[in-house]
Structure 1
Amino acid sequence: MRQEQSAEPLWSVSDEGDSAMLVLRGDWQPGEGQAFPSASAVLKACPSGIKRLDVDAGALESWHGSVLPALLYGLETRLEEKGAALHAGDLDEELQALLDLTRDRIGDARRPLAAPLLERVWEVLLGAGNATYAVGVSVVLYMKGLGRLASGSVGFRARDFLDALTQSGVQALPIITLVSLLVGSILAFVGALQLQDFGAEIYIPEMVGVAVAREMAAMMTAIVMAGRTGAAFAAHLASMEVNEEVDALKTLGVSSYDFLAFPRILALTLMMPLLYLYASAISILGGLIVSMLALGLEPAIYLARTFEKVALYHFYIGLLKSVCFGALIGMVSCHIGLRSGRSAAAVGESATRAVVISIVGIIAVDSVFAIVSTLTGA
Structure 2
Amino acid sequence: MQQNKYLKYFNVLPLFNTKRTRDIFKVNPTIAPVREEASEITIKVFDYNQQTLEEKELDHIGEAFCYLDNDKISWVNIDGIRKSDVEAICNHFNVHYLIVEDIMSVGQRPKMDDLPPVLYCLLNMLYFNESSGAVETEQISIVLGKNFVLTFQEDAHRDVFDSIREKLRAPASKLRQAGADYLCYSLIDMIVDHYFVVMEKLGYRIEELEEKIVRSSNARALAEINNLRKELIVLKRNVTPVRDLVNGFVRTDSDLLDERISKYFKDIYDHIVQANDLAENYRDMMMNLQDLYLSNVNLRMNEVMKVMAIVTCLLAPATVIGGIFGMNFDKIPYIHNQYGFFIAIGLMLVIPVWMIMLFRKRGWF
TM-score of the pair, normalised by structure 2:
0.27
The structure that is strand-richer by fraction is: 2
TM-score (norm 1): 0.26
Q: Whose RCO is larger (CA < 8 A, sep 6+)?
A: 1
The structure that is helix-richer by fraction is 1
